[in-house]
Protein backbone atom coordinates (compact mmCIF):
# COMPACT_ATOMS: atom_id res chain seq x y z
CA UNK A 1 0.00 0.00 0.00
CA UNK A 2 1.30 3.44 -0.81
CA UNK A 3 1.56 5.97 1.98
CA UNK A 4 -0.67 9.02 1.69
CA UNK A 5 1.50 11.79 0.32
CA UNK A 6 2.45 14.35 2.90
CA UNK A 7 1.78 18.00 2.11
CA UNK A 8 3.81 20.70 3.85
CA UNK A 9 3.80 24.45 3.60
CA UNK A 10 6.99 26.25 2.59
CA UNK A 11 7.37 27.33 6.21
CA UNK A 12 6.96 23.78 7.51
CA UNK A 13 9.41 22.47 4.93
CA UNK A 14 12.02 24.96 6.12
CA UNK A 15 11.33 23.99 9.71
CA UNK A 16 11.86 20.33 8.85
CA UNK A 17 15.13 21.08 7.08
CA UNK A 18 16.41 23.00 10.10
CA UNK A 19 15.39 20.20 12.47
CA UNK A 20 16.92 17.44 10.33
CA UNK A 21 20.19 19.30 9.82
CA UNK A 22 20.42 20.07 13.54
CA UNK A 23 19.78 16.43 14.37
CA UNK A 24 22.42 15.29 11.88
CA UNK A 25 25.14 17.77 12.81
CA UNK A 26 25.63 19.02 16.38
CA UNK A 27 27.56 22.04 15.10
CA UNK A 28 24.40 23.57 13.64
CA UNK A 29 23.02 26.38 15.82
CA UNK A 30 20.02 28.60 15.13
CA UNK A 31 19.51 32.13 16.39
CA UNK A 32 17.74 35.42 15.84
CA UNK A 33 15.07 37.63 17.35
CA UNK A 34 12.23 35.47 18.72
CA UNK A 35 13.66 32.30 17.23
CA UNK A 36 12.35 30.65 20.40
CA UNK A 37 9.93 33.41 21.36
CA UNK A 38 9.02 34.08 24.97
CA UNK A 39 12.47 34.22 26.55
CA UNK A 40 12.56 36.49 29.60
CA UNK A 41 8.76 36.50 29.93
CA UNK A 42 6.31 35.11 32.50
CA UNK A 43 4.25 33.14 29.97
CA UNK A 44 5.14 30.16 27.84
CA UNK A 45 8.03 29.68 25.42
CA UNK A 46 7.58 28.88 21.75
CA UNK A 47 6.25 32.06 20.19
CA UNK A 48 8.49 32.21 17.17
CA UNK A 49 6.14 32.66 14.25
CA UNK A 50 8.53 31.67 11.45
CA UNK A 51 10.31 28.45 10.46
CA UNK A 52 12.22 28.16 13.76
CA UNK A 53 9.03 27.61 15.73
CA UNK A 54 9.29 24.69 18.13
CA UNK A 55 12.94 23.85 17.39
CA UNK A 56 13.94 24.76 20.96
CA UNK A 57 11.89 21.83 22.28
CA UNK A 58 14.08 19.38 20.41
CA UNK A 59 17.33 21.34 20.66
CA UNK A 60 17.18 23.45 23.82
CA UNK A 61 20.90 24.21 23.78
CA UNK A 62 21.14 25.01 20.08
CA UNK A 63 18.44 27.63 19.56
CA UNK A 64 18.85 31.16 20.95
CA UNK A 65 16.78 34.29 21.09
CA UNK A 66 18.83 37.38 20.29
CA UNK A 67 18.31 40.98 21.35
CA UNK A 68 17.72 43.38 18.44
CA UNK A 69 21.41 43.39 17.63
CA UNK A 70 21.78 42.29 14.00
CA UNK A 71 25.26 43.76 13.59
CA UNK A 72 26.44 41.75 16.59
CA UNK A 73 24.69 38.45 15.99
CA UNK A 74 25.28 38.30 12.24
CA UNK A 75 28.93 39.13 12.91
CA UNK A 76 28.93 36.49 15.63
CA UNK A 77 27.64 33.99 13.09
CA UNK A 78 30.68 34.78 10.93
CA UNK A 79 33.07 34.32 13.82
CA UNK A 80 31.36 31.16 15.00
CA UNK A 81 31.33 29.73 11.49
CA UNK A 82 35.04 30.32 11.17
CA UNK A 83 35.69 28.46 14.43
CA UNK A 84 33.65 25.30 14.29
CA UNK A 85 29.91 26.00 14.28
CA UNK A 86 27.41 26.07 11.43
CA UNK A 87 25.19 28.97 12.44
CA UNK A 88 21.82 29.68 10.86
CA UNK A 89 21.11 33.30 11.74
CA UNK A 90 17.75 34.95 11.14
CA UNK A 91 17.53 38.48 9.80
CA UNK A 92 13.71 38.42 9.82
CA UNK A 93 13.16 40.90 6.98
CA UNK A 94 16.02 41.15 4.49
CA UNK A 95 15.56 44.93 4.68
CA UNK A 96 17.31 44.78 8.08
CA UNK A 97 20.52 43.86 6.29
CA UNK A 98 20.85 47.61 6.37
CA UNK A 99 21.86 47.65 10.01
CA UNK A 100 24.43 44.84 9.69
CA UNK A 101 25.70 45.21 6.17
CA UNK A 102 29.35 45.40 7.16
CA UNK A 103 29.14 41.95 8.72
CA UNK A 104 27.77 40.55 5.47
CA UNK A 105 29.76 42.58 2.95
CA UNK A 106 33.15 42.95 4.58
CA UNK A 107 33.29 40.08 7.07
CA UNK A 108 31.26 37.07 5.88
CA UNK A 109 31.92 37.55 2.17
CA UNK A 110 35.61 38.37 2.37
CA UNK A 111 37.10 36.51 5.30
CA UNK A 112 38.13 33.39 3.42
CA UNK A 113 39.73 35.30 0.56
CA UNK A 114 41.53 37.81 2.74
CA UNK A 115 43.19 35.12 4.84
CA UNK A 116 44.33 33.22 1.78
CA UNK A 117 41.89 30.34 2.19
CA UNK A 118 42.89 29.67 5.79
CA UNK A 119 39.29 30.01 7.01
CA UNK A 120 35.85 29.02 5.86
CA UNK A 121 32.54 30.60 6.81
CA UNK A 122 29.82 27.90 6.77
CA UNK A 123 26.90 30.05 7.82
CA UNK A 124 23.38 30.67 6.58
CA UNK A 125 21.64 34.01 6.89
CA UNK A 126 17.89 33.53 6.54
CA UNK A 127 15.89 36.50 5.29
CA UNK A 128 12.27 37.17 4.42
CA UNK A 129 11.65 39.12 1.25
CA UNK A 130 9.12 40.36 -1.20
CA UNK A 131 5.99 42.37 -1.75
CA UNK A 132 2.38 41.50 -1.09
CA UNK A 133 1.90 41.78 2.66
CA UNK A 134 1.24 45.55 2.91
CA UNK A 135 4.46 46.01 4.84
CA UNK A 136 5.67 49.14 3.08
CA UNK A 137 9.03 50.35 1.86
CA UNK A 138 11.24 49.04 4.68
CA UNK A 139 9.80 45.52 4.91
CA UNK A 140 9.14 44.39 1.33
CA UNK A 141 12.32 44.59 -0.71
CA UNK A 142 13.81 41.96 -3.01
CA UNK A 143 17.48 42.57 -2.35
CA UNK A 144 19.03 39.37 -3.70
CA UNK A 145 20.62 41.19 -6.62
CA UNK A 146 22.71 43.21 -4.18
CA UNK A 147 24.05 40.09 -2.51
CA UNK A 148 24.56 38.27 -5.80
CA UNK A 149 26.83 41.14 -6.77
CA UNK A 150 29.20 40.35 -3.91
CA UNK A 151 31.85 37.68 -4.50
CA UNK A 152 32.11 35.24 -1.63
CA UNK A 153 28.39 35.07 -0.90
CA UNK A 154 26.00 32.43 -2.18
CA UNK A 155 22.39 33.41 -2.73
CA UNK A 156 19.39 31.07 -2.69
CA UNK A 157 15.73 31.90 -3.41
CA UNK A 158 13.44 28.85 -3.46
CA UNK A 159 9.98 29.01 -5.01
CA UNK A 160 8.28 25.99 -3.40
CA UNK A 161 8.41 23.72 -0.32
CA UNK A 162 10.35 20.84 -1.89
CA UNK A 163 13.14 23.11 -3.09
CA UNK A 164 13.05 25.10 0.15
CA UNK A 165 13.80 22.00 2.20
CA UNK A 166 16.50 20.59 -0.06
CA UNK A 167 18.19 23.93 -0.63
CA UNK A 168 18.18 24.77 3.08
CA UNK A 169 19.91 21.46 3.78
CA UNK A 170 22.52 22.27 1.11
CA UNK A 171 22.96 25.80 2.41
CA UNK A 172 23.62 24.54 5.93
CA UNK A 173 26.05 21.88 4.70
CA UNK A 174 27.81 24.33 2.38
CA UNK A 175 31.14 25.71 3.58
CA UNK A 176 30.47 29.24 2.29
CA UNK A 177 28.16 31.95 3.62
CA UNK A 178 24.70 31.60 2.07
CA UNK A 179 22.01 34.27 2.11
CA UNK A 180 18.74 32.34 2.04
CA UNK A 181 15.75 34.29 0.71
CA UNK A 182 12.33 33.16 1.94
CA UNK A 183 9.39 34.85 0.22
CA UNK A 184 6.85 35.91 2.82
CA UNK A 185 3.85 35.14 0.61
CA UNK A 186 5.12 31.61 0.02
CA UNK A 187 5.37 30.64 3.73
CA UNK A 188 1.72 29.69 3.86
CA UNK A 189 0.72 30.28 0.25
CA UNK A 190 2.97 27.59 -1.21
CA UNK A 191 2.25 23.98 -0.27
CA UNK A 192 3.43 20.75 -1.76
CA UNK A 193 4.25 17.10 -1.25
CA UNK A 194 7.60 17.06 0.53
CA UNK A 195 9.65 13.89 1.11
CA UNK A 196 10.05 13.08 4.79
CA UNK A 197 13.63 11.91 4.55
CA UNK A 198 16.65 14.21 4.61
CA UNK A 199 17.76 15.26 1.11
CA UNK A 200 19.69 18.02 -0.60
CA UNK A 201 19.28 19.98 -3.79
CA UNK A 202 22.60 21.23 -5.12
CA UNK A 203 23.29 24.95 -5.16
CA UNK A 204 23.68 26.17 -8.74
CA UNK A 205 21.24 23.80 -10.41
CA UNK A 206 18.25 25.37 -12.15
CA UNK A 207 15.03 23.49 -12.75
CA UNK A 208 12.93 23.49 -15.88
CA UNK A 209 9.47 23.66 -14.33
CA UNK A 210 7.59 23.69 -17.64
CA UNK A 211 8.79 22.71 -21.08
CA UNK A 212 8.03 24.64 -24.20
CA UNK A 213 9.61 25.58 -27.50
CA UNK A 214 8.53 29.15 -28.20
CA UNK A 215 9.96 31.31 -25.46
CA UNK A 216 12.08 30.88 -22.33
CA UNK A 217 10.78 32.51 -19.17
CA UNK A 218 13.26 32.67 -16.28
CA UNK A 219 11.45 33.54 -13.05
CA UNK A 220 12.62 33.86 -9.47
CA UNK A 221 10.93 32.97 -6.19
CA UNK A 222 7.25 33.81 -6.07
CA UNK A 223 7.44 34.85 -9.73
CA UNK A 224 7.74 31.20 -10.77
CA UNK A 225 4.02 30.74 -10.04
CA UNK A 226 3.19 33.92 -11.97
CA UNK A 227 5.27 32.66 -14.90
CA UNK A 228 3.45 29.33 -14.85
CA UNK A 229 0.10 31.11 -14.83
CA UNK A 230 1.29 33.22 -17.77
CA UNK A 231 2.41 30.08 -19.58
CA UNK A 232 -1.06 28.59 -19.20
CA UNK A 233 -2.65 31.70 -20.69
CA UNK A 234 -0.16 31.65 -23.57
CA UNK A 235 -0.74 27.96 -24.20
CA UNK A 236 -4.41 28.72 -24.81
CA UNK A 237 -3.21 30.79 -27.76
CA UNK A 238 -0.82 28.12 -28.95
CA UNK A 239 2.36 29.66 -27.51
CA UNK A 240 4.45 27.17 -25.54
CA UNK A 241 6.63 28.76 -22.91
CA UNK A 242 9.49 27.02 -21.17
CA UNK A 243 9.70 28.17 -17.56
CA UNK A 244 13.02 27.97 -15.70
CA UNK A 245 13.41 28.42 -11.96
CA UNK A 246 17.11 29.14 -11.28
CA UNK A 247 16.55 28.38 -7.55
CA UNK A 248 19.97 29.77 -6.67
CA UNK A 249 21.21 33.14 -7.92
CA UNK A 250 24.80 32.68 -6.85
CA UNK A 251 26.05 30.33 -8.14
CA UNK A 252 23.82 30.67 -11.21
CA UNK A 253 23.06 27.92 -13.68
CA UNK A 254 23.66 29.88 -16.89
CA UNK A 255 23.95 26.66 -18.88
CA UNK A 256 20.33 25.79 -18.18
CA UNK A 257 19.24 29.18 -19.51
CA UNK A 258 21.54 28.96 -22.55
CA UNK A 259 20.28 25.48 -23.41
CA UNK A 260 16.70 26.66 -23.30
CA UNK A 261 17.34 29.85 -25.27
CA UNK A 262 19.09 27.83 -27.96
CA UNK A 263 15.83 25.93 -28.31
CA UNK A 264 13.34 28.82 -28.05
CA UNK A 265 15.38 31.80 -29.33
CA UNK A 266 13.48 34.15 -27.04
CA UNK A 267 13.98 35.14 -23.41
CA UNK A 268 11.83 36.90 -20.85
CA UNK A 269 13.25 37.35 -17.34
CA UNK A 270 10.82 37.89 -14.47
CA UNK A 271 12.28 39.43 -11.34
CA UNK A 272 10.43 41.02 -8.42
CA UNK A 273 13.33 43.35 -7.60
CA UNK A 274 13.98 46.84 -8.93
CA UNK A 275 15.10 46.93 -12.56
CA UNK A 276 18.55 48.55 -12.43
CA UNK A 277 21.69 46.46 -11.81
CA UNK A 278 19.47 43.49 -11.05
CA UNK A 279 19.53 39.75 -11.49
CA UNK A 280 17.24 40.34 -14.50
CA UNK A 281 19.77 42.58 -16.23
CA UNK A 282 22.52 40.17 -15.25
CA UNK A 283 20.78 37.22 -16.89
CA UNK A 284 19.86 39.31 -19.94
CA UNK A 285 23.43 40.58 -20.23
CA UNK A 286 24.97 37.14 -20.02
CA UNK A 287 22.61 35.73 -22.64
CA UNK A 288 23.29 38.71 -24.93
CA UNK A 289 27.01 38.26 -24.49
CA UNK A 290 27.16 34.49 -24.80
CA UNK A 291 24.18 33.42 -26.90
CA UNK A 292 23.52 36.47 -29.07
CA UNK A 293 23.31 34.41 -32.20
CA UNK A 294 20.67 32.14 -30.70
CA UNK A 295 18.29 35.04 -30.11
CA UNK A 296 15.65 35.99 -32.61
CA UNK A 297 14.33 38.85 -30.54
CA UNK A 298 15.50 41.31 -27.90
CA UNK A 299 15.48 39.96 -24.34
CA UNK A 300 12.64 41.37 -22.22
CA UNK A 301 12.73 41.89 -18.50
CA UNK A 302 9.62 42.12 -16.33
CA UNK A 303 10.49 43.70 -13.00
CA UNK A 304 9.16 46.00 -10.33
CA UNK A 305 9.63 49.70 -11.12
CA UNK A 306 12.57 51.84 -10.03
CA UNK A 307 10.80 52.92 -6.85
CA UNK A 308 10.49 51.84 -3.22
CA UNK A 309 7.61 49.47 -2.42
CA UNK A 310 4.44 51.48 -1.70
CA UNK A 311 2.16 50.67 1.23
CA UNK A 312 -1.25 51.37 -0.31
CA UNK A 313 -2.79 48.04 -1.40
CA UNK A 314 -3.84 49.56 -4.72
CA UNK A 315 -0.30 50.72 -5.43
CA UNK A 316 1.40 47.62 -4.05
CA UNK A 317 -0.72 45.34 -6.22
CA UNK A 318 0.44 47.27 -9.27
CA UNK A 319 4.09 47.14 -8.21
CA UNK A 320 5.51 43.64 -8.84
CA UNK A 321 5.37 41.61 -12.06
CA UNK A 322 2.34 39.38 -12.52
CA UNK A 323 1.01 36.88 -15.04
CA UNK A 324 -0.59 39.61 -17.15
CA UNK A 325 2.62 41.63 -17.43
CA UNK A 326 4.53 38.47 -18.28
CA UNK A 327 2.07 37.57 -21.04
CA UNK A 328 2.46 41.08 -22.47
CA UNK A 329 6.25 40.77 -22.44
CA UNK A 330 6.10 37.39 -24.18
CA UNK A 331 3.75 38.73 -26.83
CA UNK A 332 6.03 41.69 -27.46
CA UNK A 333 9.08 39.48 -27.82
CA UNK A 334 7.16 37.22 -30.21
CA UNK A 335 5.98 40.20 -32.25
CA UNK A 336 9.48 41.60 -32.51
CA UNK A 337 11.08 38.32 -33.54
CA UNK A 338 13.28 38.24 -36.61
CA UNK A 339 12.11 35.95 -39.36
CA UNK A 340 14.91 33.44 -38.76
CA UNK A 341 13.11 32.06 -35.73
CA UNK A 342 9.92 31.26 -37.53
Partner 1 sequence: MATESAGSLGREELIEAYRVMRTIRAFEERVHTEFASGELPGAVHLYAGQEAVAAGVCGALVEGDYIASTHRGHGHAIAKGCDIGAMMRELYGKAGGSCNGKGGSMHIADFERGMLGANGVAAGGAPLACGSALSAKVLGKSHVSVAFVGDGAANQGSFSESLNLATVWQLPVVFVVEDNFYAQATGTRYHLRGLDVARRAEAFGMPAVTVDGTDYFAVRDAAATAVERARSGGGPSLVECKAGRFFGHMEGFDQQGYRGAGEVDRLRAEQDCLVKFVTAAGLSTSETADVDVTVDAAVEVAVAEAKAAPSPELTELLTDVYVSY
Ligand X SMILES: Cc1ncc(C[n+]2csc(CCOP(=O)(O)OP(=O)(O)O)c2C)c(N)n1
- Residue 92: CB minimum distance to ligand X, A: 5
Q: Give the closest residue to 166 by CA, choosing from 192, 194, 193.
A: 194
Contact between 226 and 274 under an 8 Å Cβ cutoff? The reply is no
The Cα-based distances of 282 to 13, 169, 192 in angstroms read 30, 27, 30
Distance of alpha carbon 250 from the chain centroid: 10
Is residue 71 close enough to count as binding ligand X by CB under 6 A?
Answer: no
Q: Which of the ranges 22-30, 91-99, 164-172, 173-181 carries the binding residues for ligand X, by CB under 6 A?
A: 91-99
Which residue lies nearest ligand X, judged by its C-beta? 96
Name 221's Cβ contacts closer than 8 Å, sequence gap at least 6.
Answer: 129, 130, 142, 157, 158, 159, 181, 183, 186, 272
Question: In the complex, what is the shortest distance from the CB of residue 79 to partner 1, in angstroms, rounded to a whole number?
Answer: 16
Q: Find the shortest distance in angstroms from Cβ 39 to partner 1.
A: 5
Q: Which of 128-136, 143-151, 205-213, 247-255 is the region at the interface with partner 1 (rule: CB under 8 A)?
A: 128-136
- Kindly give the pairing relationship between strand 191-193 and strand 267-271: unpaired
Size of the site for ligand X (CB under 6 A): 6
Quick one: which segment of 135-143, 151-159, 203-211, 216-224 binds partner 1 (CB under 8 A)? 135-143
Distance set, CA 92 to CA 51, 184, 244, 290 (Å) = 11, 10, 28, 37
Between helices 10-24 and 161-173, what is the axis angle to 10°?
A: 30
Is 96 among the residues that bind ligand X (CB under 6 A)?
yes
Best CA proximity match to 227, nearest among 216, 219, 235:
219
Please report whether residue 151 would count as binding partner 1 according to CB under 8 A.
no
**Closest separation in Å from C-beta 96 to partner 1:** 7
Among 92, 150, 229, 341, binds ligand X (CB under 6 A): 92
- Residues 7-46 within binding reach of ligand X (CB under 6 A): 33
DSSP 53: T
Considering only 3, 238, 306, 335, the residue that binds partner 1 (CB under 8 A) is 306
Among 7, 58, 115, 138, binds partner 1 (CB under 8 A): 138
d(CA 10, CA 70): 25
For ligand X, give the closer residue by CB, 99 or 341. Answer: 99
Distances (CA, A) of 291 to 39, 59, 162, 295: 55, 50, 31, 7
Binding site for ligand X (CB under 6 A): 33, 68, 70, 92, 96, 99
Binding site for partner 1 (CB under 8 A): 33-34, 37-49, 65, 67-69, 71-72, 95-96, 98-99, 133-139, 305-308, 310-315, 318-319
Which residues are catalytically annotated? 139
Amino acid sequence: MTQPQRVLSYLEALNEALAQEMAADPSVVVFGEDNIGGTGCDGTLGHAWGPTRGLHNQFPDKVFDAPITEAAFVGAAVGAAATGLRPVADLLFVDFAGVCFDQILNQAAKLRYMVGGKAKVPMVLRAMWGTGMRRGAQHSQALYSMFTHIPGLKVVAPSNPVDAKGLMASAIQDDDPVIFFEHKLLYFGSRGVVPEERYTIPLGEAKVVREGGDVTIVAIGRMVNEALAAAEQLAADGVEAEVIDPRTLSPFDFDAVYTSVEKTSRLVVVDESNPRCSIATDIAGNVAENRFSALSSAVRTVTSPHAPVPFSPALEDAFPPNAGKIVDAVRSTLAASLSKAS
